[in-house]
């Protein structure tokens, strides 16, 4: 009699277990389904979330996949345009201890001419701190600092932009170029 009861209760326990695991799986799947729907609704209805996923996550990952081997210089060129290209050229053609006179705003943006440099916002060659980031440890001097910066007397390189700046050289140049970096004095031949 007892054995029968025991068997019966075991069977019942099994059934409860089965129904427990069934309800556990069902609740889990149903709640997951609702969560997915909820996330999709947020994605479709809130512009910020759509922008985050489409542009910041997927857009960037696609870009990385498309151009996996770009160098840092190429990436800077994409983001900072001609301003970076110009500074990189100066960097490659000057020693680390160079003191460079940079083009003034009037030389960067000549009147009635379209400039290659960025003219939107505060960034670009015109901004000393911004330009220093790419040229450090070289020291930069701007025309507006003529009376305040003691390094003005020690300038040894001139950055040419839009054919301006040749007048600062202590020698004459026959072939003028739109963009150039030149020593202020004729380099002595060893």
Partner 1 sequence: MIILGIILVLSLGLSVINYISKDFSILEKIGLAFLIGIGFETIFMFIYDILNMKFNVIMLCIISILFIIILNIRNIKNFRVIFKKLKKIKPQFPKINYKKINLVWLFFFILICVLIYGSAAKSLYWPTFAYDNVAGYDLMGKVVASEGKINNSLFEINNTPILGSARRCIYPPLVSGSFALAYLCNLPTSKLISTLFFIFFVISFYASLRLFTNKTNSIIITFFTVITPEMFAFSSLSTTNIPIAIYGSLSIIYLYIWLNRREQRYLLIASLLMGFNIWTRSDAVVFNVAGFIVLLFDALKNRNWKELLIYSIIAFLPFIAWNLYIKFNINVDQNVFINKPFWDSNKFNGVLTWVKNLVTNTNLYGISFYAFFVSIIINIKNIFKEKTSILLILFFISWGIYTLLFYQMDNTKMDSLATMMKASYRRGLFAFIPIMWFYVSTNKTINFLSNKYEKILFPK
Contacts with partner 1, residue ranges (CB under 8 A): 20-21, 24, 27-29, 31-32, 35-36, 39, 42, 46-49, 51-52, 56-58, 60-61, 63-64, 72, 75-76, 79-80, 121-123, 127-130, 132-133, 136-137, 139, 142, 144-145, 148-151
Give the nearer residue to partner 1 in terms of CB position, either 108 or 182.
108
Helical packing angle, 72-92 and 128-135, nearest 10°: 90
Cβ contact 109:115 at 8 Å: yes
Give the nearer residue to partner 1 in terms of CB position, either 150 or 187.
150
- Give the SS3 label for residue 160: strand
- Give the nearest distance from C-beta 128 to partner 1 in angstroms: 4
Give the nearer residue to partner 1 in terms of CB position, either 136 or 163.
136
- Give the nearest distance from C-beta 129 to partner 1 in angstroms: 4
* Number of helices and strands in the chain (H, E): 6, 4
**DSSP structure class, residue 173:** -
Give the nearer residue to partner 1 in terms of CB position, either 123 or 166.
123
| 148 phi and psi angles, rounded to 5 deg | -115, -30
Burial status of residue 38 (CB atoms within 10 A of its CB: 0-12, 13-18, 19 or more): exposed
- Give the nearest distance from C-beta 189 to partner 1 in angstroms: 32
């Amino acid at each position: 009699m007892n054995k029968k009861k025991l068997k019966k209760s075991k069977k019942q326990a099994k059934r409860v277990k089965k129904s427990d695991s069934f309800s556990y799986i069902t609740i889990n799947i149903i709640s997951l389904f609702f969560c997915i729907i909820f996330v999709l609704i947020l994605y479709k209805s809130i512009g910020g979330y759509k922008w985050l996923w489409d542009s910041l996550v997927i857009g960037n990952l696609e870009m990385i996949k498309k151009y996996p081997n770009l160098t840092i210089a190429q990436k800077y060129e994409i983001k900072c345009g001609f301003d970076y290209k110009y500074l990189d050229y100066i960097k490659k053609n000057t020693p680390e201890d160079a003191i460079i006179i940079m083009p003034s705003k009037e030389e960067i943006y000549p009147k009635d001419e379209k400039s290659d440099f960025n003219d939107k916002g505060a960034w670009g060659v015109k901004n000393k701190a911004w330009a220093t980031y790419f040229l450090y440890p070289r020291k930069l001097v701007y025309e507006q600092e003529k009376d305040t910066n003691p390094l003005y007397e020690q300038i040894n390189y001139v950055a040419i932009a839009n054919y301006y700046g040749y007048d600062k050289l202590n020698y004459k140049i026959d072939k003028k170029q739109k963009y150039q970096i030149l020593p202020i004095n004729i380099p002595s031949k060893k």
